[in-house]
Amino acid sequence: MARKRRADSSSTQPIVSPMTSTPRRRSTLRDLQSAPSDGGVVVPKVINAAPSLEKAEMYGIDDPRPASSRMLAMAGRIFIETIPQWLAVGAMLGLIFGGCCSNVFALEAIVKVEPDSGMDKRRMVTACYNIKLTSTGTLLTFVQFLFVATTGYISQFDRTRPPLFLKPNRVPIRRWMFNILLFFTINVLNNHAFSYNISVPIHIILRSGGSITTLAAGYLWGKRFSRIQVLAVTLLTVGVVIAAWSDQQSKKDVQISQDLPPFSTGLAILFFAQVLSAIMGLYTEETYKEYGPHWKENLFYSHLLALPLFIPFIPSMHRKLLKLAASRPLGLPFQDSYENLPMELRKGLDRIYIPSQLAYMVTNVLTQYACIRGVNLLASAASALTVTIVLNVRKLVSLLLSIWLFGNRLSPGTLIGAFIVFFAGGMYGLEGSKSSGRARHRAATVTTNGKIGQN
């Protein structure tokens, strides 16, 4: 029966004749070239392989192109291959120099006071300029904190975790509380120091000497530093003292005639803020070592949880906001070309009222955010030495722009002190980068030796 079933099944299968043609595949370009319809001789198609000839010499193939064509092709290839890197570098430097320097410009534009007629400009600006900055600085700090907290919420958003829709914390909130208190206090002190006759250029110079307090706090924390770092910090101290003393000597007559708060009080406030900043840096470093470098979480919570600390300043910030809203309107660009526009359109443009001080405040907030993003991008793509050098150059550019755009006059001693500060800051960053590299090399050597011993 089995044989019969196999015979029946084999008989039912169709018999394919050898002459039966199978379905032909789709014709390709090679088939069309090999089988012309007219039966003539096929001429090989010429393919332009100029781009691939740039590497011909590597494989022993002569490049028949002239030298000028080869040079142009090589230059084009280099340009195409390096343009992404150049765009990334340009974006980082644009955010740092454009954002940070524009931030200083917007800050000075907000607090700039035009002197009344018949009064000495330098004395009037010195008297009113810094006093006005105290209340303005608190409002600016609040708006900056609010903006950073709002944008930081995007990185911490998680729609599966209502009602706050926040990602789970990698670091306990109680760990951030001390950091938040320090961060808020440092910002308030830095803003309050302006009311003691400290100009923006001097503020930049003194804050560039933060390595002094960093070294002292690190030594008390148990860290050890090389001789070059100690020498750099010594030069930083000398530069800061020279700059501060020279600036104080140039303002003695102004302080006496205008009855301004003592300059030394402003220096003490800035120094105390630098000490707190060094402590906060060490505390943050220990937090990152224990829980990991979750800097986005730190940035978000340090700004968000500090917002309730501004509640006592709400009345003064509200009054300051009304004053900024009542400032003179910002001039629209290309006003001379409006004469050719229709009358109704010109009337509509004339009704546009943009308070200049509010526009500068928005510019200050946006440029600070761009500055922060640029520094973070640079830190993630470059070494600590590169970051230190770029930031020192940025501070120097901000100082020069402050002097040039707003007429801030610095004495020769202050300029010498500023040069010493920036030079010593670069030296400190260079030695710090070398020390961290040697530490990583020693750690890698110990790890390698341990693995070899285990084998």
pLDDT in tens, 257-302: 455 557 778 888 888 888 888 888 888 878 888 888 787 888 888 8
Q: Which amino acid is at 429?
A: G
Q: Which of 77, 81, 194, 68 is nearest to 127 (CA)?
A: 194
Residue 324 lies inside a defined structural domain of this protein: yes
Q: What is the model's pLDDT at position 114?
A: 37
Rounded to whole angstroms, how far apart are CA atoms 264 and 184? 23
Q: What is the model's pLDDT at position 447?
A: 36
> Which of 74-83, 263-272, 394-403 has the least mean pLDDT?
74-83
Would you state the structure tokens that stand for residue 377, as one six-digit string?
């991008």
Give mean pLDDT, residues 179-196. 82
Query: For residue 198, with 0-12 CB atoms within 10 Å meaning exposed, 13-18 middle and 19 or more buried, which class applies?
Result: buried
Q: What is the model's pLDDT at position 253?
A: 53
Higher-scoring residue by pLDDT: 433, 283: 283
Rounded to whole angstroms, how far apart are CA atoms 363 and 354? 13
Higher-scoring residue by pLDDT: 310, 205: 310
Residue 51 has pLDDT above 70, yes or no: no
Q: What is the model's pLDDT at position 130?
A: 43
User: What is the number of domains present in the chain?
Assistant: 1
Residue 208 lies inside a defined structural domain of this protein: yes
Give mean pLDDT, residues 313-340. 77
Structure confidence by residue, pLDDT tens digits, 371-390 = 877 876 776 666 555 565 67
Instruction: Give how far Cα 417 sits from Cα of 42, 68, 211, Å.
Output: 82, 53, 15
Residue 372 lies inside a defined structural domain of this protein: yes
Q: Which residues pair with 159 in a beta bridge?
A: none
Query: For residue 434, with 0-12 CB atoms within 10 Å meaning exposed, 13-18 middle and 19 or more buried, which class applies?
Result: middle
Q: What is the model's pLDDT at position 43?
A: 52
Q: What is the model's pLDDT at position 286?
A: 83
Higher-scoring residue by pLDDT: 224, 144: 144
Residue 66 lies inside a defined structural domain of this protein: no
When pLDDT is cut at 50, 70 and 90, the band that residue 129 belongs to is very low
* C-beta separation of 192 from 199 below 8 A: no
pTM over 0.75: no
Residue 6 lies inside a defined structural domain of this protein: no
Structure confidence by residue, pLDDT tens digits, 16-43 = 444 555 555 555 545 555 555 555 555 5
Q: Which amino acid is at 248?
A: Q
Residue 224 lies inside a defined structural domain of this protein: yes
Residue 1 lies inside a defined structural domain of this protein: no
Q: What is the model's pLDDT at position 445?
A: 42
Q: Which amino acid is at 292?
A: G
| Residues of the domain holding 103 | 80-334+350-437
Q: Which amino acid is at 389?
A: I
Residue 427 lies inside a defined structural domain of this protein: yes
